[in-house]
Amino acid sequence: MKTRFLSILLLGLSLSMTPASAQLLLTVDAAAKTISFSGTDSGTTASNGRAIWDGGVGAFTLPGISLAGLFDASVNIIDARNTSIRVFESGSVGLSLNFFLDASPATVSGNGTTLDYPDFFSDDEQAILEASDGDIMVLSSGTGWSNINVEVVPEPATGLLLGLGAAALLLRRRR
């Protein structure tokens, strides 16, 4: 019985960590304080050459961070200043990604390169970013692209507390 329960639990965890095909995934590693992108997506830019995803509305608290080095593309990313992630002051996660590409349609892939975010975000902004697990960055300009999912890898202390809580619930259930 225990083995079956653990097998089902591990299968569920592995499936939840597998990104969907044809979709970009933003991973926020709260322990390492880094962000990275994985997955691949294709689509067509708007007439101005941009594909934009938004996760919130509100005033920007800092200028965009160049993320051009985190991606490989089938066309040139010709304006790295507009390939950015931003933290909004709104209640939502407030992440925004904006590609300016030299041709369309295009394919863009996250290449796994990481970027340290404490260099760019205040402590409050880091807390917003680290609380964004499960949020979605919705396509607002361009066609054919999928929404971008946000996944947060918790700090080890958070994972330890979750594990202890689950163990306590299992022990209590046994009694």
Does the reported pTM lie above 0.85?
Answer: no
pLDDT of residue 51: 85
Please give the pLDDT value at position 162.
65
Strand residue runs (E) in the chain: 24-29, 34-43, 50-54, 65-66, 71-73, 84-85, 96-100, 106-110, 115-116, 136-141, 148-153
The per-residue pLDDT for 104 is 86
pLDDT at 50 (0 to 100): 83
Q: Is 151 exposed, middle or buried (0-12, 13-18, 19+ CB in 10 A)?
A: middle
- Going from the first residue of the chain to its last (175 residues), give the mean pLDDT of each consecutive group of 10, the final group possibly shorter: 48 42 85 92 88 64 70 81 63 70 89 87 80 85 90 73 73 72
Peptide bond preceding 19: is omega within 30 degrees of 0, i.e. cis?
no
Identify the pLDDT of residue 111: 93
- Who contacts 10 (Cβ-Cβ below 8 Å, separation ≥6)? none
Q: How confident is the model at residue 82, as a pLDDT? A: 60
Output the pLDDT for position 29.
93
pLDDT, residue 32, reads: 92
